Structure 1
Amino acid sequence: MREGSLEAPTRHALDWQSPWFWDEAALEKEMERVFDICHGCRRCFNLCDSFPRLFDLIDNGPTGEVDGVPKEKYADVEQACTLCDMCFMTKCPYVPPHAWNVDFPHLMLRHRAVQARKHGIGFVENRLAETDLVGRLGTFAAPLINWAIDERNQATRRTLENVAGIHHGARLPKQAAETFEQLAHREPVEINKAAPAYGKRKAVLYATCFVNFHSTAIGAATLAVLARNGVQAEVVHPACCGMPKLELGDLETVAAAARTVSEALLPWVDKGYDIVALTPSCALMLKFEWPLILPGDPAIARLSRATFDLSEYVVDIAKKHGLAEGLAPVEGGVSLHLACHARAQNMGAKGAEMLRLIPKTRVAVIERCSGHGGIWGTRTENFDIAVKVGKPAAQAALKNNTSHVASECPLAAEHLVQVMEMAEGQETPKPFRADHPIEIFARAYGLTEQSS
């Protein structure tokens, strides 16, 4: 509950098409105002590295207040922000409708956008954020790429660090040799007509760049689970949602992506299909970020209302229709990291709720940021910070001592396992893989074999 209001937290649209948004003096004034509020509160000191940086700048300054921090140092605070939204969603008591109107992540995004327009975005950063292009090209040389990016191959990783600024120790996602779209077309699944939901639901899976080009196993598990539950599913990936470009402050490209993807997906909505995004970052974009970037676009609003996060969708089927029989317990239990971009959707812990539908299975929830932040956490200047921020979550997973570690964010899952393996003085339990919850759900149905 917010001070003086019984209303839920709300977010204002990004006024990025207004000249005011790009006024650097106005931006610095707003950052000073918000930083002063954060200085007086300090509830977010342990969320990420942005707030310790801010508080150190203030405490070590000549006045001990925000007015002692040089404006050029504001960039240090912004550069540590991964846009995870957790300060807005879980900590800050001053978010709208509070009169102080604090939205720290979107303020950092505004600063990033202003700097990107003023100075441009680096060539390598821009190319890395073109995940569709990189992913499609990568399918033609997947074995070579996977050999080159393996963190054990230090010769190629040091070269990659020097050329692209990707830390030599950061674990990178493997490249798939065929896309999820191709796999789904080549290996259709049979629909279970005896399932309670049969004939009542049909879905379009927005493949997302990550599942389409890297982790097709997540997509295959999703198709299998939905088919077992009588849901007809189609696979579509018209373009990237724009999240990597959002992280660079390139709002115009994000808006263009929103229009492209919505134009491709809305005809399916008109035919009665639900839209299901396979990763939480992409679901967040379709459901929340796009409507804030293009608030006057009715197509974007309509797509937002029709979109489900993957775990949210399975839980919705269970509640409204019931699940097909056949779920077996998962031995050893699951440590489930609640991904920040899943939590930011304000829908509850749907990943945990879904896994708890599996009988006699212990689900230990981890509510700390993994520290990864997408491309951010792989950068040379950020990797050590990503490890530091992820340590509490990794320690929680170690303490839980489960057979499985999972996160709805595949990058977070891999990063957590890596940080667990880096833990000093501990005998790390070796999970056979870092899973998405839907993969565990599929194995509980006996639809996929257990990896080792």
Structure 2
Amino acid sequence: MREGSLEAPIRHPLDWRSADFYDDAKLDAEMRRVFDICHTCRRCFNLCDSFPRLFDLIDESKSGELDTVASADFKRVVDACTLCDMCFMSKCPYVPPHEFNIDFPHLILRYRAVEAKKNGVPAADRALADADRNGKWATLISGAVNWATRRENTMMRGLEEKVAGLDRNAELPKYASKTLEAQAAAHPPMRDESAPAKARKAVLYATCYGDYNDTSIGMSALGVLARNGVETKVVHPACCGMPKLEQGMLDEVAEAARKVAAAFAPYIDQGYDIVAPVPSCALMLKFEWPLILPEDESVKRLAEATFDLSEYVVDIARKEGLAEGMAPLDGGVAFHVSCHSRAQNIGQKGAELLALIPQADVAVVERCSGHGGAWGYKKGNFETAMKVGKPAARQLQNADKKHVVSECPLAGLHIEQVIEALGGETPRPERVGHPIVLMARAYGMASS
């Protein structure tokens, strides 16, 4: 049996609507097949906490093999997975088209889907996964919400830990007082008529985080695209469903995919590109949705029309050239390549974007931040998230740059907290939400 495959990795559609997908015995058999192959390979031992947990279960079992590990103990492995996709993308030699057909993240996703179907999703987890509902009301009372979620507010954070399972020590995202959509409507980006015409039209998919939390990313993107002669709009039909995917709520993710694809279809018909500023959301539109709804033509067309934000700006630079007028940045940049940026298989587009800024001094770090979306905020996971994130944070801190930035804003927020915990004499860098914010600054633009 050969090790590894010479062909490019592929992923198979998820058969989530079949009865076999939810059959306990068939799921257990597949878990044991995959885990046994993982046990004999062990290349993923240092990626996340899932694999050390799996290998410890096997090594400490009666036979030292998978046959004496109880199936009930598999949940410990499942609970540690953040669906970062790095085992599939960067480590596993047995991904399809190899005959072993290993797709560890989608196996974990299947386990969670079965668990959700059998037992339901806990109320607190379901509430946290409803990012649109949370964002809509939180922006209306952002002052109160941000006060209640401050780490220093020990009373409220203790209550949130008890009720929602959010670790009291985790730094939580703040909410904006006005959504990105509202800000863009009040201050629409004006295309620079002096800039070379790009013959491009782009819809910025606001995303939940970009619309309700850090609006500086979207406003910077709008400004940079307009400066470069690109006609831009902001649209947010609904959440991409990544928080619900993490919970195994595949039917609701499919519903979101249909809704968003239908909303974007008229823009695609008119020749607009769809640009997603958050890597996780770009990953959903480009890769996960077509695997969940492979027969849906609207979903397929949306996937083909979607660009990651950094990917899109670099594409403009390569094909038409960027507008002049950028000044050098004040200080260097330590850039973290997020897992979901890497999972798109587009290269280090964020680093390429930063390199377009004059005299850019960029240090690139390609290690997991450890945050894992809502996973890293939860009691029982937060300490693991801090541990996993230390190597990346230490490298970013030791780069000794003025700014630290990740294309994933949640990863950046978590990295900032890990750097704070590391301490040391090196001055803490300024965290920036996305490389596009630094490009907007180089153009002399202020972001909200």
Normalising to structure 2: TM-score of the pair?
Answer: 0.98
**Closer, same or farther: CA 4–89 of 1 in aligned 2, 3 Å:** closer
Structure 1 counterpart of 2:251, one-letter code: E
Task: Provide the residue aligned with 1:427 in structure 2.
Answer: 425
Identity across the alignment (%): 60
Matching of residues 49-448 of structure 1 within 5 Å: 49-196=49-196, 198-423=197-422, 426-448=424-446
Secondary structure, aligned partner of 2:232: strand
**Closer, same or farther: CA 140–4 of 1 in aligned 2, 3 Å:** closer
Q: Is the 8 A contact 1:421 1:428 kept in 2?
A: no
Q: Is the 8 A contact 1:31 1:107 kept in 2?
A: yes
Structure 2 counterpart of 1:435, one-letter code: G
Q: Is the 8 A contact 2:13 2:292 kept in 1?
A: yes
**Closer, same or farther: CA 109–4 of 1 in aligned 2, 3 Å:** closer
Q: Is the 8 A contact 1:244 1:375 kept in 2?
A: yes
Structure 1 counterpart of 2:51, one-letter code: F
Structure 1 counterpart of 2:77, one-letter code: V
Query: CA shift at 1:4, angstroms?
Result: 7.2
Gaps of 5+ in 2: none
Secondary structure, aligned partner of 2:352: helix
Structure 1 counterpart of 2:230, one-letter code: V
Q: Is the 8 A contact 2:175 2:212 kept in 1?
A: yes
Query: CA shift at 1:308, angstroms?
Result: 0.3
Residue correspondences, number: 447
Q: Is the 8 A contact 2:5 2:94 kept in 1?
A: no
| Structure 2 Cα separation of the partners of residues 56 and 434 of structure 1 | 38
Structure 1 counterpart of 2:314, one-letter code: V
Q: Could you give the per-residue CA deviations for residues 17-72 of structure 1, whole angstroms, max 9, x where no partner exists?
A: 11111111111111111111111111100100000000000111111111121100
Secondary structure, aligned partner of 2:341: helix
Task: Provide the residue aligned with 2:35 in structure 1.
Answer: 35
Q: Is the 8 A contact 1:222 1:439 kept in 2?
A: yes
Secondary structure, aligned partner of 1:406: strand
Runs of 4+ aligned residues of structure 1 deviating over 3 Å after TM superposition are: 2-6
Query: CA shift at 1:195, angstroms?
Result: 2.0
Q: Is the 8 A contact 2:84 2:372 kept in 1?
A: yes
Secondary structure, aligned partner of 1:235: strand
| Structure 1 Cα separation of the partners of residues 150 and 427 of structure 2 | 22
Query: CA shift at 1:432, angstroms?
Result: 2.7
Q: Could you give the per-residue CA deviations for residues 271-315 of structure 1, whole angstroms, max 9, x where no partner exists?
A: 010000110111000000000000111111111000000000000
Structure 1 counterpart of 2:42, one-letter code: R
Structure 2 counterpart of 1:153, one-letter code: N
**Closer, same or farther: CA 4–90 of 1 in aligned 2, 3 Å:** closer
| Structure 2 Cα separation of the partners of residues 285 and 256 of structure 1 | 13
| Structure 2 Cα separation of the partners of residues 86 and 56 of structure 1 | 21
Query: CA shift at 1:140, angstroms?
Result: 1.5
| Structure 2 Cα separation of the partners of residues 106 and 428 of structure 1 | 40
| Structure 2 Cα separation of the partners of residues 135 and 5 of structure 1 | 44
Gaps of 5+ in 1: none
| Structure 1 Cα separation of the partners of residues 56 and 334 of structure 2 | 34
Q: Could you give the per-residue CA deviations for residues 361-382 of structure 1, whole angstroms, max 9, x where no partner exists?
A: 1111111110001110000110
Structure 2 counterpart of 1:246, one-letter code: L
| Structure 2 Cα separation of the partners of residues 258 and 35 of structure 1 | 31
| Structure 2 Cα separation of the partners of residues 187 and 195 of structure 1 | 20
Query: CA shift at 1:199, angstroms?
Result: 4.7
**Closer, same or farther: CA 271–123 of 1 in aligned 2, 3 Å:** same
Q: Higher mean Cα deviation, 134-143 or 429-438?
A: 429-438
Q: Is the 8 A contact 1:242 1:253 kept in 2?
A: yes
| Structure 1 Cα separation of the partners of residues 431 and 405 of structure 2 | 9
The alignment yields a C-alpha RMSD, in angstroms, of: 1.3
Structure 2 counterpart of 1:433, one-letter code: R
**Closer, same or farther: CA 78–250 of 1 in aligned 2, 3 Å:** same
| Structure 1 Cα separation of the partners of residues 4 and 427 of structure 2 | 48
Normalising to structure 1: TM-score of the pair?
Answer: 0.97
Q: Could you give the per-residue CA deviations for residues 163-201 of structure 1, whole angstroms, max 9, x where no partner exists?
A: 1110001111111111100100001122112223x2511
| Structure 1 Cα separation of the partners of residues 198 and 438 of structure 2 | 25
| Structure 2 Cα separation of the partners of residues 326 and 101 of structure 1 | 50
| Structure 2 Cα separation of the partners of residues 315 and 446 of structure 1 | 19
Secondary structure, aligned partner of 1:87: helix
